Amino acid sequence: MTDEPYLDKPPSKPQIEACWIAIEPYSIGANTYVGEFTHVGQNTTIGKFCSISNLCTIGAQKHNIAALTSFPFMEVLKNMPVLNTIIGSDVWIGCNSVIMAGVTVGHGAVIGAGAVVTKDVPPYAIAVGNPARVLKYRFSQDLIGLLLETAWWDLPADTIRSLPIRDPLACVAIIRGMDKQKSA
């Protein structure tokens, strides 16, 4: 039993609030929630344990403003491919954020409220602003490497519940210990 109530009974399917919109194809990982009035564009992949706030746009397409009209006639008529947008696992996306199509947001990243993300965001970076820029990282580069190595989000829910989640370095040590036990 942890003091984190959402881990006591994790949902097996993504938690989707009312009034969100998604365009096929898309995928949303387990234990991820998407807030109200959020738009998930086609060819978007969202990882596990993500926290996506209200009023976000993920996978926003560009419009050609140099043409006769900004309406995407060519894209619609010619069935042009849509860029893939990838949101890693354990990503927090703040309210009113826009993530453009073709962008990859790395595992563990945080996108500040109101950010407009036009370029890839590295793992565990905190990106803010319009256009979004990396303000800082959640952890040291050494710890980021260790966390990425563990891919903790792929562990069984019972295992994650047992981890001291407020101490990432201790979590890494425990997960590494479990890996050593498996290989012994």
Strand, helix or coil at 71?
A: coil
The number of angstroms, rounded, from the C-alpha of 88 to the middle of its chain's C-alpha atoms is 4
Catalytic-role residue among 6, 62, 63, 130 = 63
To the query of whether residue 63 is one of the catalytic residues in this protein, the response is: yes
Residue 91 CA to residue 94 CA, distance in Å, equals 10
Contact call for residues 42 and 60 (beta carbons, < 8 A): no
Q: What is the CA radius of gyration of the chain?
A: 18
Listed in sequence order, the residues at least 6 apart from 63 whose beta carbon sits closer than 8 Å to its beta carbon are 70, 71, 72
DSSP class of residue 153 equals G
Show the tokens assigned to 111: 């996108």
Q: Which residues are known catalytic residues? A: 63
